[in-house]
Structure 1
Amino acid sequence: MSKSAILTKQQLENFALQGLCYADDHIGDTFHIKDVSDRLGISYSYFYHNFAMYMGEPFWHYVKRHRLETAAGLLRHSGHSIGDVGDLCGYATTAAFSKAFKQHFKESPKDFRRILELPNEKRTIQIIETITTAAGTDIFGNFFQYERGEKVHLPDTILYYSFLSRGQNPIGEMIAKMNQYYNTFSKILQHFELPQGKIITGTLDAVPVTDYERISIYAGISIPATAEHVHQQMENNYFYLMKKRIPGGVYLKLPVPMDFATAGIPMYNFINHSCKEGIFKMSGNHFFMSLNGSNSCEIYIPLLKKQY
């Protein structure tokens, strides 16, 4: 990047968000900050200082925190062994993972799995309930039953997304911005005439672990990885969108007749209860909502392979 280039605040923020996106999409990979700055076409020093300024923490601090919080979510809701969780989150050995995890959470991975309610969990749920409370929420909870779900196989996909929130009130920002993004993404899907494409929303973070004010919520288009011609056009015409790989496999698909905001708390309670009771275990933290309109969505929960 030329030293004489004058970048807008939005462009500078986008560099930081692209770094956050890269860290999430390579959570189990070995990489260096220079890999990210080279990808963005800026200097190591420029990216390092820019990320810290916009995100409020150094890049590598974020990478470590994100990996360990993701690991905590996997320990809570997946059926993976402690060693596999560490490997999925970028740690070369179980010993290295266990040491880093205990330093961060003050609990070993084994002891962490026994905690019934996490420190952030109650607070996060209370905040979200305050924002999204609607008449009939208890009734809606009746739709979140395992027996209503259907096991479906989804292909590997690429998600093109925008962040709905990166601030003090992620759920509030999500509600305020969703209609705008839904309409934009609907037009893109209609243009490509891609029946397998989905407009989805979710979070990069482990909801019961990450501080509410740091949760990153996205909305985007999920497109099968095999649709190469579509990906080329997305790269050319929508280069400003973030990218994330979502692994395929068997998912529990659960249709619910409600809007995304109302569905959030009963969805989490359903996942949490089902995992605690052994009804199912997840293969990863990448559950998401597929939006079908203002008052209808589908929940997709990735299931552990040995369960189907």
Structure 2
Amino acid sequence: MKPKAPTKDQLEQYALRGLGYADDHVMESFNMKEVSDWLGISYSYFYHIFAEIMGEPYWQYVKRHRLELAAGLLRHSGYNIGEISDLSGYATMAAFTKAFTNHFGGSPRYFRRIEELPNEKRTLEMTAMITAVHAQQGSTIGNFFSFERAEHVILPDSIMYYTLISYGQDPIAQLVMRMSRYEQRFRKMLDLLDLPQGKIVTGTLDAVPVTDYERLSMYAGVCIPVKDTQANIQLSEQVKNLIRKRISGGHYLRLQVPLDFVSAGVPMYDFINRCCREGIYKMSGNHFFMSLTGPNLCEIYIPYMKNI
């Protein structure tokens, strides 16, 4: 009997898991053959699937993703260029500088000095326009986004189990429309598996606002500390279709705001950008995220460099 052809959803899962692999191995050297073997499909099959689903060749995505994350670190972190080169998966600073300059039209050193990042104005304007329509009725930002309100916490190394709920087209609009359904799904999953320590989280895999608005990959998922071995075994066995991502622990700023995630999105970025530009703190990575803690209530987690 001839085996059934994969469904469209199955093909998308291959592409999204490949995308997730690239994001989770940004600092490491790997090739497409390793990814296709990990997925259990042939190299050529994966090559064509990814290009068709995501609209660009896989290795082009890997290179772009690494350089855009590097650009985010140049803007918001206190790492030097050599350290950012290592964090972006480049073997030498010379190779990184050449690739970065070719991609952005300016050197990393020049990029660090510019006032407005590529795509920044458009991405923030698009996001603000979309979220304004769907924001919590009657919500006011007030003084929620101030450094004085932020708590310094230490998070453990964690694993995020997530799904990409929008990628390409109109990502923020898709996130807003679909997030409620995914939040309900993850709350039910944590209840059924008796995992009260899990955080329901959302964010982007990309460097905001360096990545083109239409290419942003928005996610929803649950975060579980690595040390909770049994919980991670349960999730790995019970939920096969979620992508995994390592979340580095360490020093974070936690900001609790009485807003839904839609209302908090743009002010969150403005807060991060302002504080980093003014030297109040520097980020240790691009992996800031929101934890949805209740109706119209969320916590923002920002990884920061303790000694800067």
How far did 1:230 drift?
1.6
Contact 2:193 2:234 in 1 (8 A): no
Does 1:130 pair with 2:129? Answer: yes
Equivalent position of 1:76 in the other structure = 75
Equivalent position of 1:11 in the other structure = 10
Does 1:203 pair with 2:219? Answer: no
More displaced, 126-135 or 84-93? 126-135
Residues 104, 88 of structure 1: alpha-carbon distance in 2 compared, 3 angstrom cutoff: same
Equivalent position of 2:222 in the other structure = 221
Equivalent position of 1:260 in the other structure = 261
Equivalent position of 2:98 in the other structure = 99
Contact 1:141 1:266 in 2 (8 A): no
Equivalent position of 1:56 in the other structure = 55
Residues 108, 141 of structure 1: alpha-carbon distance in 2 compared, 3 angstrom cutoff: farther
Contact 1:170 1:216 in 2 (8 A): yes
Residues 227, 147 of structure 1: alpha-carbon distance in 2 compared, 3 angstrom cutoff: same
Q: Secondary structure at the match of 1:306?
A: coil
Q: Secondary structure at the match of 1:286?
A: coil
Cα separation, 2, equivalents of 1:97 and 1:220 = 32
How far did 1:141 drift?
4.9
Amino acid of the structure 2 residue aligned with 1:223: I
Structure 1 residue ranges, 4+ long, deviating more than 6 angstroms after superposition = none
Q: Deviations over 1:157-215 (max 9, x none)?
A: 00000111012111110011111110111112223333331000010000110000000
Trace 1:135-284 onto structure 2 (pairs within 5 A): 139-284=140-285
Equivalent position of 2:44 in the other structure = 45
Cα separation, 2, equivalents of 1:71 and 1:176 = 30
> Normalised by the size of structure 1, how large is the TM-score?
0.96
Cα separation, 2, equivalents of 1:237 and 1:61 = 33
Cα separation, 1, equivalents of 2:231 and 2:197 = 12
Q: Deviations over 1:42-82 (max 9, x none)?
A: 00010011100101100000000000000000000001110
Cα separation, 2, equivalents of 1:201 and 1:226 = 22
Equivalent position of 1:88 in the other structure = 87
Structure 1's unaligned 5+ residue stretches are none
RMSD: 1.4
How far did 1:147 drift?
0.3
Q: Deviations over 1:115-160 (max 9, x none)?
A: 11123000011111111115666x4052100000100010000000
Q: Secondary structure at the match of 2:190?
A: helix
Q: Secondary structure at the match of 1:142?
A: coil
> Normalised by the size of structure 2, how large is the TM-score?
0.96
Contact 1:154 1:249 in 2 (8 A): yes
Q: Deviations over 1:233-258 (max 9, x none)?
A: 21111110011000000100000000
Cα separation, 1, equivalents of 2:176 and 2:50 = 26
Structure 2's unaligned 5+ residue stretches are none
Contact 2:157 2:249 in 1 (8 A): yes
Instruction: State the number of aligned residues.
Output: 305
Q: Identity of aligned pairs, percent?
A: 60
Amino acid of the structure 1 residue aligned with 2:217: S
More displaced, 184-193 or 122-131? 184-193
Q: Secondary structure at the match of 2:168?
A: coil
Equivalent position of 1:31 in the other structure = 30
Contact 1:199 1:291 in 2 (8 A): yes
